[in-house]
């Protein structure tokens, strides 16, 4: 009989267990918790937080964030047998039931931490049936989750009144620090609030909360949970709580990452929070001092060159300023780059062997098929070196180099460097792109200069801790070209050195490049050393230009200030010359290999096996009569009565500049008038009108067009023809005006050596 009873009980138990597992399969427990998105710095400290989709401050805490002190206090207060029961404490249930029956009302609960988690995940009315469901769900949870995971869920969901849930949110919003830094007194205060959220609400009921906290601390001492001296310190600790604002650092980056990872509760960034707050304040103060100049915004990006991690991200001077577009992300805004793309162009030209630092270029007025660029200061410098052209950001040499390198080649390099807008504009870009005739972002520019900091090796930026480290990268220019550019951009004797920074200890050792867009709408300054690359943009998001705005005097002081704050006297040292860079003597007049004419030689760095090996031709031999009044060619050279003399071999464009500026130069004597030879090389270059140009002229008001050319040093006279008919005879640099016929017109220019150039234009009636 006894065996039958036992057998029947075992059958009932087996049936109950089977029913439990079947019900578990049919009604699985899978809480769908909508956490608020939190953005952390590189160390895991919360720097920005967003409300959850249901408008709750419910911040996810990992198991690692539950400190031993927090675990010990919480478990002792809420559920001392948490690690021993299967989700339900039968002794607590019997005790609570007995008290409730004998008192005739609910005086004691029996909820374990697990049961509280179930209730927080699936809120129900307080009934006996729902209590049974809670018990079933608790057993389910214990079967599928570990104790640490259950405790973690409780810590994340425990309510603190209003829309604050979880100890992490309460810790940040009431104490302004993460749970790991909470003291025993603070932990105790937070653990008792959920039991009486209205009467013990932090910030409004601080006195009642302090009294309840102290009662629990005394109880902890009596029951031997903590030593007496620890309790005494906790009792003496003041309780001054007020509701704080959620962290709001790096707002632009935080919004960007939240959109990029919408379902990720914790996004760990590469941001250094101390640097971020420091630079945010620095930028805000800097712009506040310039608002009287009508300059209202700035953006800054700081990249660690070794890891390519973004350590500082400032999208605007003040995110909370709606009047000046504070919520616009200036790091990603498309702007005109001004002259900031010149370093990559010069690096490309170094790699092609076109130039070396001492190669002489002509900074003179030039016409590129109708495009006539000017320098920023409206002045021209004549013959200058490559390093002078880049250090002084001269426009004419840059356009000439781009013409030789080719626009498609430069666009391809920028495409490899991740310039999205330029990639989209590629078909429409011409020579003007090197002076700002394209669109870029601060992010793209700073990443490009980080490539120079990494010896020409391009790597992707890392915004989050999960971003893969690109160890290899891809070379966009050679280490040698990068080194030559860095050496030039490190010079301090240049016009874009800010006022009052010359000969000062405040000047950091960096290589930097400035840029100012057309109309003075954008001021740029990008700089780097071995440790950091920092990009700065200053201007107005409205696009309004400011006469005082310039890369040198507006953006560069902020760049220097940031470098001095983050890496003054950097311990990383400076760049060393690559093995393939060598020194050679060149002619100072041309930058080419010295020839028999070169008596002034200077050292120049070059790339072995790449840089051009071209003999200097800044002078040429000319046969003249004894008086030096007539020159001879080999065709008309007399048998005697002549001399061999050297004369400057000056380019026609430079001659035109000398004539215009009234700069004296040595001219080759007129060629022997008795010579009948026709020359073929060195024909005049017609600079006006341009090939294929269209002119619209009123028939009743005839308008003249200008004819202009650039001729060689040995030319004394030129002849202009219109449709093969002689129109004017003039000196090489004399302006000529004509009334052209309508239709397709041929313009010809011949010099006194018989050399000729033709262009075709179209003249239409208006």
Q: From CA 479, how far away is CA 605, in angstroms rounded?
A: 14
CA angle 621–627–632, rounded 5-degree value: 40
* 382 in Cβ contact with 366 (< 8 Å): no
643 in catalytic set = no
Query: 696: helix, coil or strand?
Result: strand
Query: 510: helix, coil or strand?
Result: coil
Which member of 52, 65, 78, 336 is catalytic? 78
Q: From CA 372, how far away is CA 399, in angstroms rounded?
A: 10
The structure tokens listed for 742 are 């309508």
How many Cβ atoms from other residues are within 10 Å of residue 759's Cβ?
Answer: 18
Which CA distances in Å does 619 have to 171, 650, 668?
80, 8, 11
CB under 8 Å to 747, separation ≥6 — which residues?
686, 689, 707, 720, 721, 722, 758, 759, 760, 761
Q: What are phi and psi for residue 18, nearest 5 degrees?
A: -60, -45
Q: From CA 300, how far away is CA 279, in angstroms rounded?
A: 8
Which CA distances in Å does 714 have to 1, 719, 748, 755?
134, 15, 19, 12
Q: What are phi and psi for residue 600, nearest 5 degrees?
A: -120, 105
Query: 198: helix, coil or strand?
Result: coil
* 273 in Cβ contact with 247 (< 8 Å): no
Which of 364, 419, 459 is CA-nearest to residue 652? 364
Which CA distances in Å does 543 have to 294, 442, 722?
12, 15, 46
Which member of 111, 138, 270, 339 is catalytic? 339
Q: From CA 191, how far away is CA 641, in angstroms rounded?
A: 113
Q: Where are the beta strands (DSSP E) in 50-187?
A: 57-58, 164-165
Residue showing tokens 């023809």: 721
Q: From CA 29, how far away is CA 392, in angstroms rounded?
A: 69
Q: From CA 158, how far away is CA 58, in angstroms rounded?
A: 9
183 in catalytic set = no
Cis status of the peptide bond prior to 689, with omega within 30 of 0: yes
Q: From CA 521, how far away is CA 542, in angstroms rounded?
A: 9
- Residue environment code for 569-580, b if the CB has 16+ CB neighbours within 10 A, otherwise e: ebeeeebeebee
Which of 654, 136, 595 is CA-nearest to residue 360? 654
Helix or strand holding residue 695 (H, E): strand 694-697
Beta bridge partners of 534: 302, 527
Q: From CA 424, how far away is CA 442, in angstroms rounded?
A: 17
How many Cβ atoms from other residues are within 10 Å of residue 362's Cβ?
Answer: 20
Query: 583: helix, coil or strand?
Result: strand
CB under 8 Å to 627, separation ≥6 — which residues?
none
Q: Terminus-to-terminus CA distance in the chain, angstroms? A: 122
The structure tokens listed for 64 are 């690692």
Q: From CA 411, how far away is CA 422, in angstroms rounded?
A: 7
Alpha helices in 690-751 (DSSP H): none
- Residue environment code for 70-88, b if the CB has 16+ CB neighbours within 10 A, otherwise e: bbebbbbbbbeebeebebb
Catalytic residue numbers?
A: 78, 339
């Amino acid at each position: 009989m006894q065996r039958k009873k036992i057998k029947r009980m075992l059958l009932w138990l087996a049936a109950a267990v089977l029913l439990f597992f079947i019900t578990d399969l049919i009604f699985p427990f899978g809480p769908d918790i909508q956490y608020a998105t939190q953005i952390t710095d590189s160390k895991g400290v919360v720097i920005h937080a967003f409300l959850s989709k249901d408008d709750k401050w419910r911040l996810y805490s990992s198991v690692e964030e539950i400190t031993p002190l927090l675990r010990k206090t919480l478990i002792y207060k809420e559920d001392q047998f948490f690690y021993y029961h299967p989700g339900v404490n039968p002794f607590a249930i019997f005790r609570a039931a007995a008290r409730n029956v004998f008192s005739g009302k609910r005086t004691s609960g029996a909820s374990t931490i697990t049961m509280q988690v179930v209730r927080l995940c699936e809120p129900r009315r307080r009934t006996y049936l729902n209590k049974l469901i809670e018990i079933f769900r608790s057993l389910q949870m214990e079967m599928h989750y570990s104790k640490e995971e259950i405790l973690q869920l409780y810590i994340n969901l425990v309510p603190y009144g209003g829309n604050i849930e979880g100890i992490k949110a309460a810790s940040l919003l009431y104490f302004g620090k993460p749970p790991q830094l909470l003291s025993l007194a603070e932990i105790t205060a937070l653990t008792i609030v959920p039991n009486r959220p209205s009467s013990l609400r932090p910030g409004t009921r601080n006195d009642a909360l302090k009294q309840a906290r102290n009662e629990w601390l005394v109880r902890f001492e009596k029951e031997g949970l903590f030593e007496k001296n620890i309790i005494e310190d906790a009792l003496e600790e003041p309780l001054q709580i007020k509701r704080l604002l959620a962290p709001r650092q790096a707002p632009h980056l935080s919004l960007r990452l939240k959109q990029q990872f919408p379902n990720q509760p914790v996004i760990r960034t590469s941001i250094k929070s101390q640097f971020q707050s420091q630079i945010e304040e620095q930028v805000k103060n800097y712009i506040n001092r310039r608002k009287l100049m009508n300059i209202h915004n700035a953006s800054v990006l700081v990249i660690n060159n070794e890891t390519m991690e973004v350590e500082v991200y400032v999208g605007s001077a003040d995110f909370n300023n709606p009047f000046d577009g504070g919520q616009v992300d200036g790091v990603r805004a498309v702007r005109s780059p001004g002259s900031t793309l010149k370093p990559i162009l010069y690096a490309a030209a170094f790699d092609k062997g076109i130039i070396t630092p001492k190669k002489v270029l002509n900074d003179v007025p030039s016409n590129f098929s109708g495009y006539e660029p000017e320098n920023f200061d409206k002045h021209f410098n004549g013959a200058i070196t490559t390093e002078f052209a880049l250090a002084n950001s001269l426009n004419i040499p840059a356009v000439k180099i781009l013409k030789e390198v080719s626009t498609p080649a430069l666009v391809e390099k920028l495409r490899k460097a991740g310039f999205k807008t330029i990639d989209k504009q590629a078909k429409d870009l011409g020579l003007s792109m090197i002076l700002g005739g394209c669109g870029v972002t601060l992010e793209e520019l700073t990443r490009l200069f980080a490539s120079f900091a990494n010896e020409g090796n391009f790597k992707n930026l890392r915004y989050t801790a999960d971003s893969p480290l690109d160890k290899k990268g891809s070379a966009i220019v050679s280490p040698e070209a990068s080194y030559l550019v860095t050496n030039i951009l490190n010079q301090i004797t240049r016009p874009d050195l800010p006022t009052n920074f010359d000969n000062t200890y405040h000047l950091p050792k960096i290589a930097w490049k400035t840029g100012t867009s057309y109309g003075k709408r954008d001021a740029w300054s990008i700089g780097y050393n071995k440790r950091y690359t920092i990009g700065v943009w200053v201007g107005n998001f409205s696009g309004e230009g400011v006469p005082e705005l310039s890369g040198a005097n507006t953006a560069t002081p902020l760049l220097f200030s940031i470098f001095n704050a983050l890496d003054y006297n950097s311990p990383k040292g400076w760049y060393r010359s690559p093995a393939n860079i060598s020194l050679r003597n060149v002619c100072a007049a041309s930058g080419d290999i010295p020839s028999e004419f070169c008596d002034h030689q200077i050292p120049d760095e070059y790339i072995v096996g790449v840089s051009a090996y071209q003999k200097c031709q800044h002078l040429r031999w000319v046969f003249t009569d004894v008086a030096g009044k007539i020159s001879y060619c080999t065709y008309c050279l007399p048998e005697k009565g002549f001399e061999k003399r050297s004369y400057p071999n000056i380019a026609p464009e430079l001659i035109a500049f000398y004539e215009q500026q009234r700069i004296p130069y040595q001219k080759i004597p007129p060629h022997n008038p008795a010579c009948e030879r026709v020359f073929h090389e060195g024909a005049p270059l017609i600079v006006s009108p341009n090939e294929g140009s269209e002119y619209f002229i009123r028939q009743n008001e005839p308008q003249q067009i200008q004819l202009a050319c650039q001729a060689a040093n040995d030319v004394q006279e030129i002849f202009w023809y219109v449709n093969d008919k002689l129109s004017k005879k003039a000196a090489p640099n004399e302006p000529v005006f004509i009334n052209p016929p309508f239709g397709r017109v041929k313009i010809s220019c011949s010099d006194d050596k018989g050399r000729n150039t033709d262009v075709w234009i179209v003249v239409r009636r208006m």
